[in-house]
């Protein structure tokens, strides 16, 4: 009999409330992430993006519906990694030891952990900083270490919660390309939360748009751009402008339906007039 292939991530009618049901964070969310797929999640502040990642990661449980990772409810033993807005490195450990640490607790030998950690630091361009401590690194470099640490466990599911939001524009750009290169090489399933529409289009194969109060799926938008993404900047392409416009229109429509438009504009960054394809 043919083996059943489960999607890396599957959500079926997932709901989640906090404060004894007074805060309805997510309502009836259903979508899947296919093997090797890069999916971004966008939506205004408070629409449940982080809650969604925490549900997939198994840090919290849904009140209703089902979250499945590789066909099973999420659990710590699964090959999943999460990257946050700040790298959250252990300050008393060196850079290389921060990565070795996660390998050691997964049962890798001391020797193997070190060689893997050093190889990964090479991949993210930080081999020369192996023996530095986190405070000696810039925010962008720390985030690179965080990425290397997440990849060390060779996850087949990588969750990212606005990982580049705190970085300057240039570092952000460099890390995006680095992430795309790593993804093209390893092809893990990625769920990437961002407030930045351009970033979502540049990185993803599909974009899940959430609407707030309670968080629901507004649309799932396929992003069909010529690849490989790490080598082609789509921002000059007509299809990019069209996608950007349609996402922006969608967000404006949410505003008209009652969500404060200014909040949305602040959260997403209104397209500059010169970038506006309709002008």
Ligand X SMILES: Nc1ncnc2c1ncn2[C@@H]1O[C@H](COP(=O)(O)OP(=O)(O)OP(=O)(O)O)[C@@H](O)[C@H]1O
| Count, residues in the chain | 279
Member of 7, 36, 46, 139 binding ligand X (CB under 6 A): 46
Nearest to 87 by CA among 20, 140, 131: 140
| Pick 53 or 148: Cβ nearer ligand X | 53
Burial label, 86 (beta-carbon count in 10 A; 0-12, 13-18, 19+): middle
Instruction: Compute how many other C-beta atoms are within 10 angstroms of the C-beta atom of residue 254.
Output: 20
Q: Does 45 bind ligand X (CB under 6 A)?
A: yes
Member of 9, 10, 11, 25 binding ligand X (CB under 6 A): 25
* Pairwise CA distance, residues 155 & 149, whole Å: 10
| Sites for ligand X among residues 69-88 (CB under 6 A) | none
From residue 272, give the alpha-carbon distance in Å to each of 72, 265, 268: 44, 12, 12
CB 207, CB 40: distance < 8 Å? yes
* Pairwise CA distance, residues 261 & 256, whole Å: 7
| Pick 203 or 209: Cβ nearer ligand X | 209
Member of 51, 94, 142, 205 binding ligand X (CB under 6 A): 51
Written as six digits, the tokens of 244 are: 């950007």
* Pairwise CA distance, residues 43 & 51, whole Å: 12
* Pairwise CA distance, residues 149 & 97, whole Å: 10
Q: Does 57 bind ligand X (CB under 6 A)?
A: no
From residue 206, give the alpha-carbon distance in Å to each of 209, 219, 226: 10, 10, 14
Of the ranges 15-23, 90-98, 150-158, 254-262, which one interacts with ligand X (CB under 6 A)? 15-23
| Pick 51 or 97: Cβ nearer ligand X | 51
Of the ranges 18-26, 179-187, 199-207, 241-249, which one interacts with ligand X (CB under 6 A)? 18-26
Q: Does 61 bind ligand X (CB under 6 A)?
A: no
Member of 18, 106, 231, 277 binding ligand X (CB under 6 A): 18
| Pick 18 or 224: Cβ nearer ligand X | 18
| Pick 21 or 107: Cβ nearer ligand X | 21
Q: Does 19 bind ligand X (CB under 6 A)?
A: yes
| Sites for ligand X among residues 113-152 (CB under 6 A) | none
CB of 159 to ligand X, least distance (A): 12
Residues that bind ligand X (CB under 6 A): 18-19, 23, 25, 43, 45-51
């Amino acid at each position: 009999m043919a083996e059943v292939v489960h999607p890396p991530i599957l959500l079926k009618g997932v709901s989640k409330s906090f404060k004894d049901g007074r805060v309805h964070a997510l309502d009836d969310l259903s979508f899947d992430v296919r093997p090797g797929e890069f999916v971004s999640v966008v939506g205004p502040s408070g629409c449940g993006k982080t809650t969604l990642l925490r549900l997939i990661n198994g840090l919290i449980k849904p009140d209703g519906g089902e979250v499945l990772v590789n066909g099973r409810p999420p659990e710590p033993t699964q090959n999943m990694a999460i990257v946050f807005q700040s790298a959250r490195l252990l300050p008393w450990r060196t850079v290389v030891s921060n990565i070795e640490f996660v390998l050691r607790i997964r049962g890798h030998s001391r020797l193997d952990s070190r060689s893997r950690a050093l190889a990964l630091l090479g991949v993210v361009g930080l081999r020369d900083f192996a023996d530095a401590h986190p405070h000696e690194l810039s925010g962008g470099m720390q985030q690179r270490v965080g990425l290397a640490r997440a990849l060390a466990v060779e996850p087949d599911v990588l969750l990212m919660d606005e990982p580049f939001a705190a970085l300057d524009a240039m570092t952000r750009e460099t890390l995006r390309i680095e992430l795309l290169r790593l993804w093209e090489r390893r092809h893990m399933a990625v769920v990437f939360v961002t407030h930045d529409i351009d970033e979502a289009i540049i990185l993803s194969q599909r974009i899940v748009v959430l609407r707030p109060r309670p968080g629901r799926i507004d649309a799932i938008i396929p992003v069909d751009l010529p690849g490989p993404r790490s080598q082609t900047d789509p921002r000059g392409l007509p299809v990019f402008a069209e996608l950007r416009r349609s996402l922006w229109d969608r967000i404006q429509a949410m505003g008209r339906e009652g969500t404060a438009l200014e909040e949305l504009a602040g959260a997403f960054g209104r397209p500059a007039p010169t970038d506006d394809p309709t002008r």
